[in-house]
């Protein structure tokens, strides 16, 4: 394991030890303004937190998260569906009697 990976693991472990609040979210809404990016974290359609960040940090976050998922997909040989992909499957077809 590289020093960078070890450092990340330590930082995550320390965060769990020192942070009183852990937020689970299963959806989000994002917006871009003249000077920053806003990300609203949602759980079951209700806002649970609002993140405001610079363009630079938002782009870095997007790249880092994308890299994590890419590594998992490559290691597993499976593509992880996005919520948009799942939504297509869960949308009832006109002639379908299936209820989700």
Query: Closest by alpha carbon to 52, among 33, 65, 66, 67?
Result: 33
Q: pLDDT tens track of the chain, all 100 residues? A: 566 888 888 988 888 787 678 899 999 999 999 999 999 999 999 999 999 999 999 999 999 999 999 999 999 999 999 999 998 888 877 766 665 5
* pLDDT (0 to 100) of residue 96: 65
C-beta of residue 25 within 8 angstroms of C-beta of residue 42: yes
Dihedral class, residue 45 (left if φ above 0, else alpha if ψ from -120 to 50, else beta): left
Distance separating alpha carbons of residues 68 and 83, to the nearest angstrom: 17
Distance separating alpha carbons of residues 74 and 70, to the nearest angstrom: 6
């Amino acid at each position: 394991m590289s020093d960078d990976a070890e450092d990340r693991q330590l930082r995550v472990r320390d965060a769990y030890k020192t942070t009183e609040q852990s937020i689970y979210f299963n959806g989000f809404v994002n917006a871009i303004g003249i000077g920053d990016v806003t990300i609203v974290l949602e759980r079951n359609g209700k806002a649970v937190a609002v993140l405001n960040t610079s363009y630079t940090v938002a782009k870095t976050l997007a790249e880092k998260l994308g890299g994590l998922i890419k590594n998992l997909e490559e290691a597993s040989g499976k593509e992880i569906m996005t919520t948009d992909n799942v939504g297509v499957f869960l949308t009832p077809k006109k002639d379908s009697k299936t209820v989700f």
